[in-house]
Amino acid sequence: MKVEDEERIAANLSKIMAMICIRNTRLEDLHAGLQPVTLTGDYSDVNVVDGTGRTIPWREVSHLDDQQMADLMREIVERLFTFHMRRDDPSFRDHLDRWMAASNKWDNPVLDKAFLDAVAGLGAPRKA
């Protein structure tokens, strides 16, 4: 297979997986709601006042609690697992084809150097 074809297939697969396995999850709930206005553009002028009266800079506020993060990751893992387990099912593939038109409007991905560096920095797995 040509490198260009391999890259095109990987890009399309990555976009459709991101759309149906990650974007359309609890992540949408986190994205919903009012967005604070920032006049500086970096949110350094935005603060949150919590229930005890503490003023916390926006950039220091945790936007997910541990349970929300666990729920989100569980949902994403289950969707990715389902995607891989059903990828050869013709009716599932028909469903993917309908979503492909929307995901094709996204930018094409590029290799993530920071991710590759982080994985390389992990070294060989330890023996149990």
Q: What is the mean pLDDT of each successive set of 10 residues along the chain, which is 128 residues long?
A: 90 91 87 91 96 96 90 95 93 87 91 92 68
C-alpha 19/C-alpha 31 separation (Å) is 14
Q: Give the per-residue pLDDT at 77.
A: 96
CA 89 to chain centre: 24
Cα dist. 108→19, 49, 113, 116 in Å? 13, 39, 16, 18
pLDDT at res. 127: 64
Distance from C-alpha of 36 to C-alpha of 38, rounded to nearest angstrom: 6
- Provide the residue ranges of all domains of the chain, joining segments of one domain with +: 3-110
**Residue 46 near residue 36 (C-beta atoms within 8 A):** yes
Rounded Cα distance between 77 and 75, Å, is: 6
Query: Residue 71: helix, strand or coil by DSSP?
Result: helix
The closest of 17, 33, 6 to 103, measured between CA atoms, is 17
User: How many CB atoms are closer than 10 A to CB 103?
Assistant: 19
